[in-house]
Amino acid sequence: MSENQIFTDFEVVELIEEKQINFSEVLTGKNFYLINIWSSWCEPCKDESEYLLELKNNTPVMMIGINYKDKKKNALNFLKLYGDPFDQIFIDKQGTISINFGAYGVPETFLLNNDYKILKKYIGPLSDKDVYEIKKTINN
């Protein structure tokens, strides 16, 4: 595993149905994956929700949400209010999944290719410029 590849062999619990699966099973069948670490109590996460929806609606990338140190009820309300851009969402109650990815807080976003290599890491909320860059990377 190279230094900018993420470790994928660990168990995750899905937010809605609370099913447990191995994260490596999630990362199949796509050329690109966008992992977004977010929380309902995170103000900048609200600001970036429109950019995540833009990527969901206008790219073939698989959108994976990691719900960081949050309450399920609050997370679901957030998704109702700001839209749900994610194909799958996993619970990170203790913050350990985020630490595995090398994240320090919320929001953070990682663009991965199908070798689980981190092509780009975005610290803080996504911007127009970031969305443009992600689209350009995916469409090349």
The per-residue pLDDT for range 76-97, each reduced to its tens digit, is 999 999 999 999 999 999 999 9
Which helix or strand (DSSP H or E) is residue 48 part of? Answer: helix 43-58
Contact (Cβ atoms closer than 8 angstroms) between residue 64 and residue 100: no
The per-residue pLDDT for range 102-130, each reduced to its tens digit, is 898 899 999 999 998 999 999 999 999 99
pTM of the model: 0.94
DSSP 5: B
Topology of the domain covering 38-112+122-139: Glutaredoxin (3.40.30)
- The closest of 136, 139, 97, 104 to 122, measured between CA atoms, is 104
2: pLDDT strictly greater than 60: no
Domains of the chain, residue spans: 38-112+122-139
Provide the token pair at 30.
Answer: 């796509």
